[in-house]
Amino acid sequence: GLRTAAARGQAVLLEPWYDFRLEVPQDCVGRAMADLQRRCAEFSTPENEDGLAVITGKAPVAEMRGCAREVTAYTRGAGRLSCMPRGYAPCHNTETVLEAIGYQPDADTENPADSVFCSHGAGYLVKWDEVPAHAHVASGLGRNAPGAQQAKQEEADASDEASDARRRAAAYCGTLEQDKELLAIFERTYGPIKRRGEAAGQHDQLAARKAFRSVGPSQNRTPAAPPPSGPEYLLVDGYNVIFAWDELKKIAAENLDAARRRLMDILCNYAGYRKCVPILVFDAYRVKGAGREQETWHNLHVIYTREAETADMF
């Protein structure tokens, strides 16, 4: 996050500076001021104290190395320099320092400024300058910027919101396709789903109409039952889904454990946007002496059945 902010903003290179006080004889003032200018120091007009010229100011620490020794030399021991740490300030020679370091941010693979986004259980890399187009929410940076900067930020925010809406729409369509695929797998395994009321015969429908007419619409209005409280649970037969899903079946042909892990990742994501409690059951009824085992994978509960217990029995 810090690297991305530095890449998007105006980074300023800082360096330590000194507050200094230089005392030299009056005949050495010219030499002292020239030396301080060469060292990129900022100083005030010399003042006279007890026959000595006193110069105060600030200078980069890197440029003040060896200064006390030179003062002693050109004043023949009559001069004195004292320095105190001032703190950090903008570097006086930023371009020279950066050129000497030769740092290339895009080539620093150990400390990248790019981001990793997650989609359908897998991560993918997003370049730092493309993050706003992929982000779920606007960053909110620059809202207090004046004038043109604020207008530019508002325009960028509007573009981010439009991109966010398109991303949500695409993700929703993707989830619908996954739901259709899961429904097809279920119907291939257990047969077509019959909606409540489809199995009722014509006689039941006529009886219901007669009962409604005899009671009357005003008397028939009963308050709707409240929705059940508590979380929604999703129970999944792991091996049925793996061997009915072409992608997972192909993975299972090479490594069954990898197929299980892939299904677990998919269900974790599914449960995340459906806000349900998923329970994934794997048959272990052929394992001699096996007891029921349970593990937690992120927000997913994984069950391995005991000996002689199928997933359906569980």
Q: Which domain holds residue 19?
A: 11-97
The phi, psi pair for 89, rounded to 5°, reads -145, 165
pTM over 0.75: no
Position 27: which residue type? D
Domain boundary among 77, 97, 117: 97
Give tens-digit pLDDT for 60-92. 999 999 999 999 999 999 999 999 999 999 999
d(CA 180, CA 172): 13
204 in a structural domain: no
263 in a structural domain: yes
CATH number at residue 61: 3.30.70.240
* CA 277 and chain centroid, separation: 24
147 in a structural domain: no
Give tens-digit pLDDT for 89-143. 999 999 999 889 888 877 888 888 888 888 888 888 888 888 888 887 776 665 5
Give tens-digit pLDDT for 146-183. 444 555 666 666 666 666 666 666 655 555 566 677 77
Domain boundary among 97, 127, 144: 97
Position 135: which residue type? A
141 in a structural domain: no
The DSSP-derived string for the chain is -HHHHHHHS----EEEEEEEEEEEEGGGHHHHHHHHHHTT-EE---EEETTEEEEEEEEEGGG-TTHHHHHHHHTTT--EEEEEEEEEEE-TTHHHHHHHHT--GGG-TTS---EEEEETTEEEEE-GGGHHHH-SS---TTTT--HHHHHHHHHHHHHHHHHHHHHHHHHHHHHHHHHHHHHHHHHHHH-PPPPTTTT--HHHHHHHHHHHHHH-TTTS-PPPPPPPPS--EEEEEHHHHHHHSHHHHHHHHH-HHHHHHHHHHHHHHHHHHHT-EEEEEE--TTSTTPPPEEEEETTEEEEE--TT--TTT-
126 in a structural domain: no
Number of structural domains in the chain: 2
Give 304's contacts (C-beta < 8 A, 6+ positions apart).
282, 284, 290, 292, 293, 294
Domain boundary among 55, 80, 97: 97
78 in a structural domain: yes
133 in a structural domain: no
16 pLDDT exceeds 90?
Answer: yes
d(CA 225, CA 122): 41
Pairing relationship of beta strands 233-237 and 277-282 according to DSSP bridges: parallel
The DSSP-derived string for 66-123 is THHHHHHHHTTT--EEEEEEEEEEE-TTHHHHHHHHT--GGG-TTS---EEEEETTEE
153 in a structural domain: no
50 pLDDT exceeds 90?
Answer: no
pLDDT of residue 142: 55
